[in-house]
Amino acid sequence: MRTAGRRGGSRTARGVRVIALALAGAGLVGVTAPTAGALGTGPHRGGVDARALDEALEGVIETGGASSSLARVTEYGRTAWKGAEGVGDFSTGAEPSANGRFRIASVTKTFVATVVLQLVGEGRFGLDDSVESLLPGAVPGGAAITVRQLLNHTSGLFDYTDDPAVQVDTETWLREGRWRSWTPRQLLALANGHPPHFPPGTGWRYANTNYVLAGMIVERVTGHDWRREVERRIIDRLGLTGTSLPVHATAIRGPHAHTYLDLPGGPVDVTEMEPSEMDAAGVGISTSADLAAFLRALLGGRLLPAPLLAEMLTVAPASGAGQYGLGIGRLTTPCGEAWGNNGSTGHGHNSAVYATLDGRRLVALSTNGYRDTGQGWNTTQKLLATAFCGRQPATAAPTG
């Protein structure tokens, strides 16, 4: 393990495919919906407890069953603690690095939503403009679906990742699905082959389809691929040197921990995968430092003017415990509210980044799930609670 100020030995991974801060829909590609409101309430408390954070991170491995996990906690933009636990490479026994890169899955949505809101601020279109007006014929009933409803998941559209062409068994995914290339139009066609779950604006249901459409809107309005706009407007502007948005590249470039599936025949390395299936819903790769810099800049008003940031932080009433705004979610910890996002590829890659609105405390983490002990979410809750409270809570909060 590596942490700020101390180093210990690596540990053999025991336990679970951690569900990356998401209880509902585990296994969806691109990501699952954030779970908020599960950690209790109370005022934010003082300093970082490095020993408690070390123990909480160890728990994600020892009790939660992840093969590796890394995390970073910042105070007003400065790293107060960082750590990494587990095994980064089963073939060599190498330790993971706290500075390593990882797939961020649906945290990508926060980047995309930020660019969409920037375009709204530039007068290119409005949040309440229809999908039909921006992407004629893209989806049935698009005249009744607004950009806002895409970003906050109230469109009612079917999630293409639930289609049998994507939602395949593990053996089929390893053999075929893992390497299959997709275009946004193909993904959209899968969703359009199913009826909507409800009329637009009358309910809430997480759907990666919404963000494939958001990426297509960015391209239609700017004339550039959505990746280029995210790079120009956010990644390059903030100097996020560890962040990338691959199109078809299967590998993670730079230092990173490997991800494994625990199968009857032994562990299978699934670090490499064709990312196009996730598109604007979740192709991103980043580091804990970059995610921390991005979220701090976003919540600090450096990327959006105050009125649009307020729109972003307005949660959809129908999102219930998810408390989802426009590409960002509200998490309630034992020490107060935090804002951010989390993601899971559904194949072991899990990530999250959350911060207090005042910028005082921020935590970014990545967990490579492995064995299912049933304690993955509980151990991740403890890590989050420890990061925001400066100590581990005396008892675990209920998971609902």
Q: Which of 68, 69, 106, 276 is catalytic?
A: 106
φ, ψ of residue 253 to 5 degrees: the values are -80, 145
List average pLDDT for each run of 10 residues in the chain, which is 400 residues long. Answer: 31 28 29 36 61 96 95 96 97 97 98 98 98 98 98 98 96 95 98 98 97 98 98 98 97 96 95 97 98 98 98 92 91 91 91 94 95 86 89 39
Write the DSSP string, 258-322. Answer: --EEEETTEEEE-----GGGTGGGT--EEEHHHHHHHHHHHHTTSSS-HHHHHHHT---GGGGGG
Catalytic site includes residue 106: yes
Position 47 scores a pLDDT of 78
Position 333 scores a pLDDT of 87
Label residue 366 exposed, middle or buried (CB < 10 Å: 0-12, 13-18, 19+). buried
> In the CATH scheme, what architecture does the domain 2-389 have?
3-Layer(aba) Sandwich (3.40)
Position 374 scores a pLDDT of 87
Position 191 scores a pLDDT of 98
Sheet holding 349-355, edge to edge: 6-7, 2-3, 78-86, 68-75, 361-368, 349-355, 336-344, 329-333
Q: H or E stretch including 156?
A: none
Helices then strands, counting H and E runs in the chain, come out as 12, 12
- Say whether 162 sits in a helix, a strand or coil: helix
Please report, for the chain, the start and end positions of each structural domain, with discontinuous segments joined by +.
Answer: 2-389
Residue 156 · residue 209 · CB < 8 Å: no
Q: H or E stretch including 359?
A: none
